[in-house]
Structure 1
């Protein structure tokens, strides 16, 4: 009975995620017409569209360490946004930990940004981390500014960032280890 209830809740959450994203306002397009067409200009417009440079941020992780997205340039990054109260996030975390453990020496980093400003407090977050045995970096978005920058309306939401720091993919909803592997294997 509990298993059916959990599956029902996950199914309901998935339907809600799809509905929210179907009806949400589209982000305003970035005007790149003023950028130089000069081949020597290697600057990339920062934004949230595929191919744009992922907006940089600096946060503190669960261990008190400073995490800056731009420090991971040269590696692929799974940039995930989550909260402890989110059932699909709970379903996704064991897969993220498994992926992290299976790629410990690889070129992919997981940054699982906790929406601390919207979550249930530090104790709930630490309990969640302990419960799932999470060992990857969990930056804490205490003000909500990073979630706002990345226009997070639904959790989990994940950006796959290539080794140049550009957004390669956006995934709304939970992922499993195979999806993470497929998404990161398909980019440089």
Structure 2
């Protein structure tokens, strides 16, 4: 009984942190575009319309993934970790979206925050548990998360076919959000 109560409290705390970061962080893409360019030293490259910072990581299959190789496609660039309850909630939606859009110009890159996660075995078990078949680049050093200023997970950037940031979403998504976001960009 006590374990259940603690689990509920942890889940509520995680959701509260996400909500606080979402509403108070001032990190939404729309708010970033209102910052004076001379004050944008840390936000540079992350405003709506900016070219997304390139990265090269290794995915769950040992393949090299470079973001710039996906130009010409829309990209759902998601940052997540196995210990994150909202990440667990959105993964089935991401997998279903991936399966429903295999012949489209939309790719999912779900970057695991490996440097902050619970080890290779936990990540592998998570991938197997959810039957994930899209590319999962591993951010082993934390440098990609730092480039994208990831403070809350999940955080997702929607990139257009030119590799530019179209939207930033803090918190979990479902299939409808993914479809709406990718349908409205070129």
Q: Find the residue that maps to 1:146 and give its secondary structure.
A: helix
Match of 1:141 among 139, 144, 162: 139
User: C-alpha root-mean-square deviation of aligned residues, in Å?
Assistant: 2.5
Report Cα offsets for 1:142-169 as digits up to 9, x if no partner: 0000000000000000000000110000
**SS in structure 2 of the partner of residue 78 of structure 1:** strand
Q: 2:65 aligned to 39, 64, 67, which one?
A: 67
Question: 1:9–1:87: 8 Å Cα contact kept in structure 2?
Answer: no
CA distance in 1, matches of 2:11, 2:148: 24
Q: Which runs of 5+ in 2 are unaligned?
A: 39-43
User: Which residue of the partner structure matches residue 31 of structure 1?
Assistant: 37
Map residues 116-127 of structure 1 onto 2, 5 A cutoff: 116-127=114-125
2:19 is matched with 18
Q: Count residues with an aligned counterpart.
A: 175
Do 2:22 and 2:171's aligned partners in 1 also have CA atoms closer than 8 Å?
A: no
1:47-73 per-residue CA deviation (whole Å, 9 max, x = no partner) reads 001111000000000000000000000
Structure 1 unaligned spans of 5+:
33-45
**CA-CA distance at 1:20 after TM superposition:** 2.7
Aligned equivalent of 1:42: none
Which structure's residues are more often helix, by fraction? 2
Q: Could you state the TM-score of these two structures normalised by the residue count of structure 1? A: 0.84
Query: How far did residue 18 of structure 1 move?
Result: 1.6
What TM-score do the two structures reach when normalised by structure 2?
0.85
- 8 Å CA contact 1:54–1:167 kept in 2: the answer is yes
User: Which residue, out of 159, 166, 169, partners 1:168?
Assistant: 166
Q: Give runs of aligned pairs for residues 23-102 of structure 1, distance below 5 A.
A: 23-24=24-25, 29=35, 31=37, 47-102=45-100
Correspondence for 2:41: none
